[in-house]
Structure 1
Amino acid sequence: MSESVRKRKPRRTFDRELGVERAQRIFHEKGYDGVSVADLTAALDINPPSLYAAYGSKAGLFEHTLRRYTAEQSLPASAIFEGRDLGDAIAQLFVSAANQYSQDATCRGCLVTEGARAADPEARNIAEGFSVVMASAISEEIVKRAPDQGAELADVVITMVRGLSAAAFTGVDAERLRATAEKAGVLIKTALTATIAV
């Protein structure tokens, strides 16, 4: 055996899940379009060929991060709606969204919602796919409880939740965001009460 073979260092094992965790944070901090392959390889401490071997592409890695994000940080629609009347559940959903989207000063907003605004079409399509799933979970809970007006009400609620993400992403502070969410909840409950009375 040659001297060079004997001295060759063993190849370092790359932890793909840890890589996804690190990439998730940098994507959330900067947005998909603001992150370069060089940023990712530096954060993951690997070279570009290793990144492509592990995840296929930058967009492939983004898809892994969205899968991780939705598994761990999606708004728990079924838990929020369980045991509450419709107005209270929607109000709680708004507050939960405001709290989640503003809890980390450097990772603001919803990673999926903001990812769906990416300029890169592949990344945008990936994020939109996850966004549809998340929106459907909320819509299903609303339609179950208000079948006659559920679809329209769900559109209002989902638009509000996405608006809270956008507000957080652009820098609205946590206190103001929560106050906005609480006010929106009051307005929804008032509107639902008026509808029932009619």
Structure 2
Amino acid sequence: MTAKKTSPTLAQDRKSGRGRPRAFDADAAVDTAMTLFHRRGYDAVGVAELAEAIGVNPPSLYAAFGSKKGLFERALERYQESGGGFVARTLAEEGNLAELIGRVFLRAAETYSAADSLPGCLVLDSTRNCSDPEIRAVTDALRAEGREHIRRRIAREFPRAAEVLTDYVLVTLSGLSAAARDGMDPAALRRSAQIAADGFAAQLGGKG
């Protein structure tokens, strides 16, 4: 068996009592980073702030996650695994298309305005004004993946209208996220989601 090597930086941190603590919790670090990125956006959160919030020094943060981008990608994964992945999970449920999309809209309103979480969607909002094209590409890819997932489900019942109906769904989700971030009352957000769901169902008449 080969002994696990410890990087010089982390070893020095442990000896000096600085930076990464002995019981470093990577999952907790990712949760902390996810909160910061969600609250303020990728560009506004610096490495020094991330390191301080997590309880490490910047070299230790790089040792643990590779880069700020690497930590952001981990945060996005965590978000999708938790509340942020509700769209794919909802579309996998039983029900016709109108029922499923209605649930998506209502769950979006609930998720984006939940009292125990930050408003809006991390994927949709965290890189909206980002100056780094590599980071924008990360969330662009997630949005494209989500769009295709929605389009495929719509196409199962309404293939000829799949593109325009997918656009309807994405515009609605983006609007609900933006409204939540702007502080719309959760009850009002849910009412808007229901109106959007009714509108989507109405659009299905005569399509196929």
Confirm or deny a common fold (TM above 0.5). Answer: yes
Q: Distance in 1 between matches of 2:16 and 2:51?
A: 21
Relative to the length of structure 1, the TM-score reads 0.85
Give how far 1:180 is off: 0.7
Whether 1:161 aligns to 2:196 is no
Number of residue pairs aligned between Structure 1 and Structure 2: 189
* Alignment partners' CA distance in 1, 2:57 and 2:154: 47
By how many angstroms is 1:13 displaced? 4.3
Equivalent position amino acid for 1:125 in 2: A
For 1:49 and 1:179, locate their aligned partners in 2 and report how far apart those are by CA, in whole Å: 48
1:140 paired to 2:126: no
Counterpart residue number, 1:177: 189
Whether the 8 Å contact between 1:108 and 1:165 is mirrored in structure 2 is yes
State the match for 1:84 in structure 2: 95
Deviations 1:21-70 (A, max 9, x none): 11111111222122122221111000010011111221221111001111
Match of residue 124, structure 1, among 129, 136, 145: 136
The counterpart of 1:41, out of the listed 41, 51, 54, is 51
Distance in 2, Cα, partners of 1:113 & 1:154? 16
1:160 alignment partner AA: T
Q: How does 1:15-34 map to 2 (within 5 A)?
A: 15-34=25-44
Contact kept? 1:143, 1:149, Cα under 8 Å = yes
Going from structure 1 to structure 2, the CA distance change for 1:110 and 1:191 (only over 3 Å counts) comes to: same
Matched, 1:114 2:125: yes
Give 1:183 shift: 0.7
TM-score, length-scaled by structure 2: 0.81
Q: Do residues 99 (structure 1) and 103 (structure 2) align?
A: no
Residue 63 (structure 1) aligned with residue 77 (structure 2)? no
In 1: Cα distance, 2:164 partner to 2:96 partner? 18
Quick one: structure 1 residues 12 and 78, their matched pair in 2 at CA, closer, same or farther if it must change by over 3 Å? closer
| Residue segments in structure 2 that go unaligned for 5+ positions in a row | 1-14
Number of the residue aligned with 2:64: 54
Unaligned runs of 5+ in 1: 1-7
The farther-off stretch of 101-110 and 156-165 is: 101-110
**Identity rate of aligned residues, in percent?**
36
1:150 to 162, 167, 181: 162
Displacement after TM superposition at 1:123 (Å): 2.2
1:184-195 to structure 2, matched below 5 A, reads 184-193=196-205, 195=206
Instruction: Supply the AA of the counterpart residue of 2:47.
Output: V
Q: Check conservation: 1:20, 1:61, Cα contact below 8 A.
A: yes
C-alpha deviation, 1:106, in angstroms: 5.7
Q: CA deviation at 1:105?
A: 6.3
Q: How much is the aligned-residue C-alpha RMSD, in angstroms? A: 2.2
Q: CA deviation at 1:78?
A: 4.9
